[in-house]
Structure formats: structure tokens, C-alpha cells
Amino acid sequence: MLLTDKTAIVYGAGGSIGGAVARAFAGEGARVHLVGRTRETLEAVAADLKDAEVAVVDALDEAAVEEHLAGVGDVDISFNLVTRGDVQGAPLTEMPVDDFLRPVINGARANFITARAAGRRMAERGSGVVLALNSGSAHGSPMMGGTGPADAAIDTLVRNLAIELGPRGVRAVGLWAAGVPETFTVEKLSAVNPAIDEAAVQGIVDNLAAMRMTRRNPTLAEVAATAVFLASDRAAGITGTFVDVTGGMVAR
């Protein structure tokens, strides 16, 4: 198994992608710590795993993250998948400033806090992997509010972490994943874009598939499998970059 004897922390483990990644990590032999703000969703994921640890921690809370990591001890993999409060579906010229800035501030803060906490400990041991995920929208994403700038901040953070931590044996890598249909529900999408209904969800799924080089949408299992590979020693030569798991939505 690719992650035998590795200790992994998944922030936002109660979400669709977070849960899929946590299950994939555990399936490859990792000891998984499920971290998030809602115990019920974390416990639901933990029920599928053996010996998973659950902790209610807000990734925006610096002291809480540090306290939790101190209790975990050595960590090999840290993956931040927390939600940022993105608001989409309106032109920038009509968007309230708080809606635009929220994902930028929350995304940068949460990823910085968790990556810094794990990176310090990994550097002391001389090994480890910091992972991040966003939609790859930094290259242009109309009608998506602060999503593009938030993604750009995380892209840059990962690259700079890789430069600084690389000489100490720590890798920093990201995944671009956008529009995974298994994560779509009216409830989830309406939190980002209030004008969403069932027909709109299906229309989004169909349109996304048509936009991809593969003409098909990626699955949760594919995203999780990529995360497993990047977290493993088989990807030891990969750092300071993002792997596109969007099916080639945008040529980069």
C-alpha cells in the first residue's frame, strides 16, 4: 500500500472531497485524522474507516490548529480541503466587497495556518507533504467572484512553501479539481449561487463535460486517487506545482 505507516490530517474531512480523500488515504494504509467544524459529518466518514481520529477544529483558528497538531504528534501528510465561502453567479461590478473578499481571506488564512503548522513539524523531521486543492480558476474565471483570486493566492502559497521547505525534505503540492458532479446538490450549489435548481444542476454538469478535453467529468475516486499518489513516496520528485485533475478544462 502506498501510505503504510503514514499519518495524515485531512482538514474539511466531512465534505464530499474530504471524505473521499480520507477514505482513499486509509485504504492505502494511512492513519487518518479527520478534522472539521461539524462532528456529525466527520463521524459519518469515520464510520467507514478503521481507527480514524475525529477532531472538531476550525482551520481559521490558529491556536486551535496548533493545539490539535501538538496532540497528534508526528504528521506525514497535511491536506487542506476546507470551504471558503465562495459566492458566484454575479458580475464583479455587482458583487458586494465582502462576498468577493471572503474566499480570498478565508482560503489564504486556512491554508497558511494549517500548512505552516504542519510544515514546521515536517521540517524538523526532514520529511512530509503539504497538499492543497482549488479549482484552478486563477487563469480566468468570469462570474465566479473571488474564486479566481482565492485560487491564485493558494497556488502561490504552495509554490513558495515548496521553495522554502524543499531543502528540508518537505514537499508542497496542489490539485486543481473543478466541477466534480458527485459533489453537486441543489443545497450545496445554492449556497454559492442562489439561482440554482435541479435543472440548473444538470445543465452545469453537461456544460462542464463539454468544456473538458476529455469530454467527461472527473469522479471523486479519480481526484482521491491522485491525492494518494501525490502524498506517496512515488511522487517524491513532484513539488511546487499543481496537478490538473479537471479533465483538461482549460489549457494551461
Domain boundaries, the chain: 7-180+218-244, 184-217
* pLDDT < 50 positions in the chain: none
Other beta carbons within 10 Å of 236: 11
CA–CA distance, 126 with 121 (Å, rounded to integer): 9
Q: In this predicted structure, what is the pLDDT of residue 100? A: 97
CA–CA distance, 41 with 145 (Å, rounded to integer): 28
CA–CA distance, 149 with 105 (Å, rounded to integer): 10
Q: Which residues contact 198 (CB under 8 A, 6 or more apart)?
A: 186
Amino acid at 8: A
Q: In this predicted structure, what is the pLDDT of residue 252? A: 56
Residue in this structure with the C-alpha cell 474531512, named with its chain if needed: 13
Q: Which residues contact 223 (CB under 8 A, 6 or more apart)?
A: 17, 20, 21, 175, 177, 180, 245
SS3 category, 122: helix
What is the share, in percent, of the chain residues with pLDDT greater than 70?
95
Q: Which residues contact 236 (CB under 8 A, 6 or more apart)?
A: 171
Q: In this predicted structure, what is the pLDDT of residue 196? A: 72
Comparing CA positions, the residue from 9, 20, 15, 230 lying closest to residue 117 is 9
Q: In this predicted structure, what is the pLDDT of residue 191? A: 65
Q: In this predicted structure, what is the pLDDT of residue 89? A: 86
End-to-end CA distance of the chain: 32
SS3 category, 173: strand
Q: Which residues contact 207 (CB under 8 A, 6 or more apart)?
A: none
Q: In this predicted structure, what is the pLDDT of residue 133? A: 97
Comparing CA positions, the residue from 127, 138, 103, 96 lying closest to residue 242 is 138
**Reported pTM:** 0.92
Which of the listed CATH numbers 3.40.50.720, 3.90.1150.10, 3.30.70.3270, 3.20.20.70 matches domain 7-180+218-244? 3.40.50.720
